[in-house]
Amino acid sequence: MGSALIDAKGLNSYYGASHILRGIDFAVARGETIGLMGRNGMGKSTLLKSIMGLVKPRSGRVDVMGRDMTGRAPFEIAKLGIAYVPEGRGIFGNLSVVENLKMAARAGNTDAARERARTGEDWTYERVLDTFPRLKERLGHGGQQLSGGEQQMLTIGRALMTNPDLLILDEATEGLAPQIAREIWRICTMIRESGISSVIVDKNWKHVTRITDRNVILVKGEVVFEGSSAELTNRPELLEQYLGV
């Protein structure tokens, strides 16, 4: 994939003696939104961590922007235009909303990011607050004072402040009230429309497939389905077999 932002091949990742990823191939093209699905414990988060350098694959290769970044430090991968919103959010609870956002602010250093800046479509502090009006009302609050939904908005906003080419979002709406979850999905749609690629992990396959181009299902560390959202939604037997719905 010449235009691939991420091109991972043959990934085998372990936790101790436990073989989690089993020869996975996974790629993300520029401008593409992908849903990564599977029941709990099937390797989704491990795949994302292997891409981001948080888990070093035992074998296989991860190319980021055409460069071999297998097992490299997470900050090196982030500098290439990859933003990661982990499960559990990882905000700084002792810092205010403003501080959480501004500490991440930087101009993107990829060609796509520079073009967005040239046309005024980059993610500035003002744009993030316009996108997340709840955060604008809580600028002086510490991270620990926010609700779970507000913390999720903050961590997505903080990721956007790095002006990435790809946003990886693990468990987008887990544990959030329906009203807040709808707001997160609205923001994911806005991110897609802005031209930023996304990888989205979430248990709500209906919402995921509404905004994704392609979907990948993992079972016990292996890819068992890869196809368009239309193909997946038209095959209820797959949803029942692999997602239990």
Percent of the chain past pLDDT 70, that is, above it, reads 99
Global pTM value: 0.92
Q: Is residue 12 a contact partner of residue 59, using CB atoms and an 8 Å limit? A: yes
* pLDDT given for residue 2 in this prediction: 44
Q: Hey, what are 209's tokens?
A: 């497939």
Angle formed by the axes of helices 178-193 and 148-160, to 10°?
10
Asked if residue 18 has pLDDT above 90, the reply is yes
* Average pLDDT, rounded, for the chain: 93
* pLDDT given for residue 1 in this prediction: 41
Quote the Cα angle for 36-43-92, to 5°. 80
**Of 164, 172, 165, 155, which Cα lies nearest the Cα of 37?**
172
Percent of the chain past pLDDT 90, that is, above it, reads 80
* pLDDT given for residue 245 in this prediction: 55
Q: How confident is the model at residue 7 (pLDDT cuts 50, 70, 90)?
A: very high
* pLDDT given for residue 90 in this prediction: 81
Burial class (CB in 10 A: 0-12, 13-18, 19+), 144: exposed
Q: What is the mean predicted confidence (pLDDT) over 188-193?
A: 93
Q: What is the mean predicted confidence (pLDDT) over 131-149?
A: 92
* pLDDT given for residue 175 in this prediction: 87
pLDDT digits (tens, 9 = 90+) for 64-116: 999 999 989 999 999 999 999 998 778 888 899 999 999 988 888 888 888 88
Asked if residue 6 has pLDDT above 60, the reply is yes
Question: Which 3 state secondary structure label does DSSP give 120?
Answer: coil
Q: What is the mean predicted confidence (pLDDT) over 141-151?
A: 92
Q: What is the mean predicted confidence (pLDDT) over 191-203?
A: 94
* pLDDT given for residue 91 in this prediction: 85
Q: Name every residue whose Cβ is closer than 8 Å to that of residue 212 and which is 6 or more positions away in sequence.
A: 33, 34, 35, 200, 229
Distances (CA, A) of 39 to 81, 146, 157, 218, 224: 29, 29, 27, 8, 12
